[in-house]
């Protein structure tokens, strides 16, 4: 640690401070003849005190600072990441991975910790600090681990990464590609078993999650078998313990694959739980992958959406693909010039860049109002802002003059009409800007903005997406075109369209849902995965049909054994939300209640939690991927019993060294307390001597 004194002005000014102190002390104690009777040492002491005080005060006017330089030595970081998914225990060595392997890994960590800063992580469904070796995660996402390491340790002195896994992943992208940005040696510990064991696998089932009443629907069941040649099994499909389908599967080879088509009938509405099972064959390594649970919702009919556009545009395909990703929606696209004036049976109309100067779409707009059909207006560069303003849709855009702005989406945190997942909200902030009409935006009452416009780095109060309801007329307005860029960007960020699809389908779902006069509503998904947080939303209305959230809302979830789990909703800006955590696989009912005045309002529903079995679908470890991953990053692959050799490999690295960092700190001298007390002590000492000598 080094100290030095610096000033904003030239150090030569310090001489002036000393001179000022000397002149002041000389004038006071050697020119003042009233002090001639004092002892010489008293005069000298008082002069020194006055000289020091004046010099220090003058010096403080130069804004002096103390510069402190700290030197910090950081050990190299070694990251040890352990696969905590269930696939590790599938195989003959499960006892080894529960007992012996943790001891070997902890010994490696202990040896590395003598010379390095060891960071321990576990991964599976997510990435967590620490390792507990319980192997309970239901999915494996290795690419998320690399993303977490890059975000958390970027710029740090990371010397090596130890990745212990069986190489099997069922979430995220291929680790070979997702790790390309790493500039750190990667050492892989090859877990699991590459031996082909006897195993019968219900590998996948292709089916529609939503079907329609009175229709027949197919299940495409894919069966795989290894080392089971000459065996037979029964494929059984049942619902509520009633067998609906049974077929014998003859396994002819040791590397067997077959697809079985099953046709079922949708006879009653609601959510139905189907179980698909293969009876085990003798000697299987595991039977957990022999059965799957399906939850299929039977609806009366699809909701129909009409997309009317001014002209062909890439937004149209993006909207259509996202809407139809929700299986209970059917979308038809038509250009306004070809619109036949028929809006019968449509639950929602989407208007893309209508009304426009080239086509005011008067007939279509009149039909929407007269039939009270919900509408979603999407404005763009071809929209007629004047005609849009004339519709009185809750927004006036003034002084537009045909110009546009690039507007980034900014999510409104207190938006409460429906709920977006945290992942969708996070991705929204990364989406590119839409082309929005330029102008001054003025919103009317009873509008609910979901997105506001961010122009460059400036967040405005101008709405980018809002919703409004007047009586039976429900509408939404997106003040910008370019949704197709959001869809492409979502795929670039996440290798899927899930966030974009969620945003569009939630908008369509809200607008197309037929409003009832119920004063209490609870909404939730009908099917959850076992590793998915249960989320419910609720709305309460007063007698004037206005949203309120003053009373408390209670929810009770009941399982098939009639055991109940009570919860209370949290209040949002105008509604309620509840995250009820996780529940075991099964079918559930829920009852919700709220007391408004002297009345108790109730709502009820059903949902199901389905099992995730992806970890048992593949039982052969992928060591070739681990070898390639280690080779690409200058490391090596070892097996669990070679962890001692891995310790030597890491210690032998030439480029894994401690790094010294220099930190500079500047502190104003005038802010130091000891300076104040020093001045006070000097002035007090001088006063005491003068008082004692009778000079005052």
Q: Mean pLDDT across the stretch 521-544?
A: 87
Q: Which residues contact 407 (CB under 8 A, 6 or more apart)?
A: 433, 434, 435, 436, 453, 454, 455, 462, 464, 479, 480
Q: Residue 38's pLDDT is what?
A: 67
- Residue 406 to residues 437, 448, 485: CA-CA distances in angstroms? 9, 22, 13
Q: What is the pLDDT of residue 694?
A: 59
Q: Report pLDDT for 471.
A: 63
Token pair 């005045």 in the structure block, residue? 597
Q: For residues 472-481, b (16+ Cβ closer than 10 Å) or e, as one string?
A: eebbbbbbbb
Give the model's pLDDT for residue 565.
95
Q: Is the pLDDT of residue 37 over 70?
A: no
- Give 146-163 pLDDT, tens digit per residue: 999 998 998 888 999 999
Residue 279 has pLDDT above 70, yes or no: yes
| Secondary structure (3-state) at 487 | helix
How high is the pLDDT of residue 31? Answer: 64
Q: What is the pLDDT of residue 34?
A: 58
Tokens for 319? Answer: 């909207």
Position 323 scores a pLDDT of 93
User: What is the 3-state composition of the chain as percent helix, strand, coil, each rounded to the nearest 5?
Assistant: 30, 35, 35
The CATH fold assigned to 199-299 is Immunoglobulin-like (2.60.40)
Cβ of 186: how many Cβ atoms within 10 Å? 24
Using a pLDDT cut of 90, give the percent of the chain over it: 53
CA 103 to chain centre: 35
- Rounded CA-CA distance 304/309 in Å is 16
Respond yes or no on whether the N-terminal peptide bond of residue 355 is cis (omega within 30° of 0).
Answer: yes
- Does the pLDDT at position 35 exceed 70? no
**408 has pLDDT over 60:** yes
Tally of residues, the chain: 696
Chain centroid to CA 427: how far?
A: 8
Query: Quick count: other Cβ atoms within 10 Å of Cβ 384?
Result: 21
Q: Tell me how crowded residue 171 is: count the other CB atoms within 10 A of its CB.
A: 16
Contact 240, 295 (CB under 8 A): no
DSSP per residue, 345-400: T-SEEEEES-SBSS---HHHHHHHHHTT--EEEE--TTB-HHHHHHT--SEEEES-
Q: How confident is the model at residue 685 (pLDDT cuts 50, 70, 90)?
A: confident
pLDDT recorded at residue 570: 94
Reply yes or no on whether the pLDDT at 696 is more than 60.
Answer: no
- Give the tens place of pLDDT for each residue, 476-530: 999 999 999 999 999 998 889 999 999 999 899 889 877 666 889 998 888 888 8
The token pair at 228 is: 């089971």
Q: Which fold has domain 303-512?
A: Rossmann fold (3.40.50)
CB atoms within 10 A of CB 124: 28
Domain coordinates in residue numbering, the chain: 2-70+665-692, 76-193+620-657, 199-299, 303-512, 520-610
Domains 303-512 and 520-610 equal at CATH topology level: no
pTM: 0.59
Question: Once rounded to an integer, what is the mean pLDDT over residues 338-360?
Answer: 93
Look at residue 66 in the predicted model and tell me its pLDDT.
83
pLDDT of res. 380: 94
Q: In the CATH scheme, what architecture does the domain 76-193+620-657 have? A: 3-Layer(aba) Sandwich (3.40)
**What average pLDDT score do residues 332-356 get?**
94
Does the structure show a pLDDT above 70 at 33? no
What does R_g of the chain's alpha carbons equal in angstroms? 37
Instruction: Report which secondary-structure segment, H or E, holds 470.
Output: strand 458-470
Mean pLDDT, the chain, rounded, equals: 88
Any idea which of 57-71, 195-209, 405-419, 615-629 has the lowest mean pLDDT? Answer: 57-71
Instruction: Give the lowest-confidence range in 207-221, 329-343, 641-655.
Output: 207-221
pLDDT over threshold 80, residue 692 = no
Please report, rounded to a whole number, the percentage of residues in the chain having pLDDT higher than 70. 96
- pLDDT at position 593: 96
Q: Does the pLDDT at position 205 exceed 80?
A: yes
Q: Please answer whether residues 168 and 617 qualify as being in contact, where contact means their C-beta atoms are separated by less than 8 angstroms.
A: no
Choose among 327, 136, 292, 207: nearest CA to 610.
292
**Quick check: 695 pLDDT over 60?**
no
Position 214 scores a pLDDT of 83
Q: Is the Cβ–Cβ distance between 266 and 214 less than 8 Å?
A: yes
Thinking of the domain 520-610, which architecture would CATH place it in?
A: Sandwich (2.60)
pLDDT score, position 111: 94
What's the rounded mean pLDDT across residues 630-652? 93
């Amino acid at each position: 640690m080094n100290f030095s004194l610096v000033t904003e002005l030239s150090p030569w000014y310090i001489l002036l401070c000393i001179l000022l102190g000397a002149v002041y002390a000389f004038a006071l104690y050697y020119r003042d003849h009233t002090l001639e009777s004092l002892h010489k040492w008293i005069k000298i002491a008082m002069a020194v005190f006055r000289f020091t005080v004046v010099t220090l005060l003058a010096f403080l006017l130069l804004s002096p600072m103390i510069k402190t330089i700290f030197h910090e030595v950081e050990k190299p970081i070694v990251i040890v990441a352990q696969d905590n998914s269930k696939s590790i225990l599938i195989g003959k060595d499960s006892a080894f991975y529960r007992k012996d392997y943790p001891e070997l890994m902890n010994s490696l960590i202990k040896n590395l910790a003598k010379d390095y800063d060891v960071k321990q992580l576990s991964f599976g469904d997510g990435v967590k600090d620490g390792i507990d070796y319980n192997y309970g995660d239901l999915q494996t996402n290795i690419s998320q681990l690399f993303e977490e390491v890059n975000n958390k340790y970027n710029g740090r002195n990371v010397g090596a990464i130890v990745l212990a896994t069986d190489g099997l992943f069922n979430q995220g992208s291929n680790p070979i590609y997702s790790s390309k940005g790493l500039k750190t040696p990667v050492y892989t510990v090859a877990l699991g078993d590459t031996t082909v064991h006897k195993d019968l696998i219900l590998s996948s089932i292709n089916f529609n999650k939503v079907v329609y009443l009175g229709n027949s629907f197919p299940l495409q069941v894919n069966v795989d078998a290894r080392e089971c040649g000459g065996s037979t099994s029964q494929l059984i499909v049942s619902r509520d313990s009633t067998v609906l389908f049974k077929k014998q599967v003859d396994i002819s080879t040791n590397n067997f694959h077959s697809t079985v088509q099953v046709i079922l009938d949708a006879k009653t509405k609601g959510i139905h739980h189907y179980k698909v099972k293969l009876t085990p064959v003798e000697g299987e390594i595991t039977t957990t992958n022999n059965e799957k649970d399906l939850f299929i919702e039977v609806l009366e009919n699809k909701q129909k959406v009409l997309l009317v556009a001014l002209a062909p545009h890439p937004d149209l395909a993006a909207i259509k693909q996202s809407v139809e990703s929700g299986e209970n929606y059917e979308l038809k696209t038509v250009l306004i010039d070809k619109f036949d004036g028929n809006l019968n049976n449509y639950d929602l109309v989407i208007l893309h860049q209508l009304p426009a100067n080239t086509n005011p779409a008067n007939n279509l707009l009149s039909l929407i109002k007269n039939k009270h059909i919900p509408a979603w207006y999407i404005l763009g560069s071809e929209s007629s802002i004047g005609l849009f303003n004339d519709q009185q849709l809750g927004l006036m855009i003034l002084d537009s003059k045909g110009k546009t702005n690039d507007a980034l989406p900014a999510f409104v945190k207190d938006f409460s009409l429906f709920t977006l997942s945290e992942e969708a909200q996070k991705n929204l902030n990364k989406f590119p800007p839409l082309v929005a009409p330029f102008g001054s935006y003025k919103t009317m009452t009873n509008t609910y903005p979901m997105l506001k416009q961010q122009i460059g780095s400036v967040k405005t109060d101008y709405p980018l997406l809002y919703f409004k309801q007047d009586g039976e007329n429900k509408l939404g307005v997106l003040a910008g075109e370019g949704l197709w860029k959001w869809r492409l960007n979502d795929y670039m960020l996440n290798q899927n369209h899930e966030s974009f699809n969620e945003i569009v389908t939630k908008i369509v779902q809200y607008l197309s849902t037929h409003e009832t006069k119920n004063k209490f509503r609870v909404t939730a998904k009908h099917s959850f995965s076992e590793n998915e947080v249960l989320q419910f939303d609720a709305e309460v209305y007063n007698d004037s049909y206005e949203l309120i959230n003053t009373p408390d809302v209670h929810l009770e979830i009941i399982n098939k054994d009639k055991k109940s789990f009570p919860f209370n909703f949290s209040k949002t800006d105008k509604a309620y939300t509840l995250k009820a955590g996780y529940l075991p696989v099964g079918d559930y009912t829920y009852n919700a209640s709220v007391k408004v005045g002297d009345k108790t309002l109730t709502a009820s529903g059903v949902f199901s939690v389905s099992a995730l079995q992806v970890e048992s679908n593949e039982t052969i470890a992928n060591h070739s991927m681990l070898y390639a991953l280690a080779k690409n990053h200058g490391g090596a692959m070892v097996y669990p019993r070679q962890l001692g050799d891995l310790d030597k490999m890491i210690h032998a690295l030439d480029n894994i060294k401690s790094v010294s960092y220099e930190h500079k700190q500047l502190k104003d001298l005038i802010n130091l307390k000891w300076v104040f007390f020093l001045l006070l002590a000097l002035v007090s000492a001088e006063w005491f001597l003068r008082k004692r000598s009778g000079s005052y």
